[in-house]
């Protein structure tokens, strides 16, 4: 099933994020805290709509898709508040939001076509956490600074990711995100 340009972790910032990832045979489940840290938002002039309001009776898979739509909106606008609210326990997600805020906070932006995610499927469950995997295809992209100068280029590529989600106080949250493999 092809979901279009929705899902997560652009190759744009994989260098920063994937240094903390490691291959593990079993997913780690992080116990959530009772309160989420306050959300922060970078100021930008773009106005890309997000899907921050969850639908009634949202399934775990629907949440994974919505979360990744928020990631795309965050990447396009620099606004990190909703993304952070959906993933306060996910260290790689926090790192991505920090990197986006840094780029946009300095007047820069991310340039490139939207990534495409396919093959989203549930691979397991540990206690009350649902585990999904998906394929992520990122086209070539770049980081442009405030003056319009290209500061970083990325060739793009395909990778497999795993995301763990759990309901916390009635709402879904991302607990962990990891790259499982890079595909040729």
Do 76 and 48 form a contact (C-beta atoms < 8 A)? Answer: yes
For residue 141, tell me if it sits in a domain: yes
How many domains are there within the chain? 1
Full residue range of the structural domain in which residue 161 is found:
11-33+56-183
- Alpha-carbon torsion 40, 46, 51, 53, what sign? positive
CATH code, 83: 3.10.450.50
For residue 91, tell me if it sits in a domain: yes
| Residues making up the chain, counted from first to last | 184
10-residue mean pLDDT series, the chain (184 residues): 35 37 42 38 37 72 88 90 96 96 96 84 94 89 95 91 94 94 76
pTM: 0.71
Q: How far apart are CA 160 and CA 156, in angstroms?
A: 13
For residue 5, tell me if it sits in a domain: no
For residue 39, tell me if it sits in a domain: no
For residue 48, tell me if it sits in a domain: no
For residue 95, tell me if it sits in a domain: yes
For residue 116, tell me if it sits in a domain: yes
For residue 40, tell me if it sits in a domain: no
């Amino acid at each position: 099933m092809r979901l279009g340009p929705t899902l997560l972790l652009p190759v744009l910032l994989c260098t920063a994020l994937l240094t903390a990832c490691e291959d593990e045979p079993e997913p780690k489940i992080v116990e959530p805290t009772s309160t989420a840290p306050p959300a922060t938002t970078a100021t930008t002039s773009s106005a890309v709509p997000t899907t921050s309001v969850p639908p009634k009776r949202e399934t775990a898979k629907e949440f994974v898709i919505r979360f990744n739509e928020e990631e795309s909106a965050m990447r396009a606008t620099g606004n990190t508040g909703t993304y952070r609210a959906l993933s306060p326990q996910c260290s790689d997600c926090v790192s991505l939001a920090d990197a986006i805020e840094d780029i946009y906070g300095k007047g820069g932006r991310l340039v490139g076509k939207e990534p495409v995610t396919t093959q989203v499927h549930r691979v397991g469950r540990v206690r009350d956490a649902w585990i999904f995997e998906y394929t992520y295809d990122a086209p070539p992209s770049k980081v442009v600074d405030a003056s319009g100068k290209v500061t970083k280029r990325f060739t793009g590529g395909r990778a497999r990711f795993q995301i763990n989600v759990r309901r916390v106080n009635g709402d879904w949250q991302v607990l962990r995100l990891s790259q499982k493999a890079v595909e040729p």
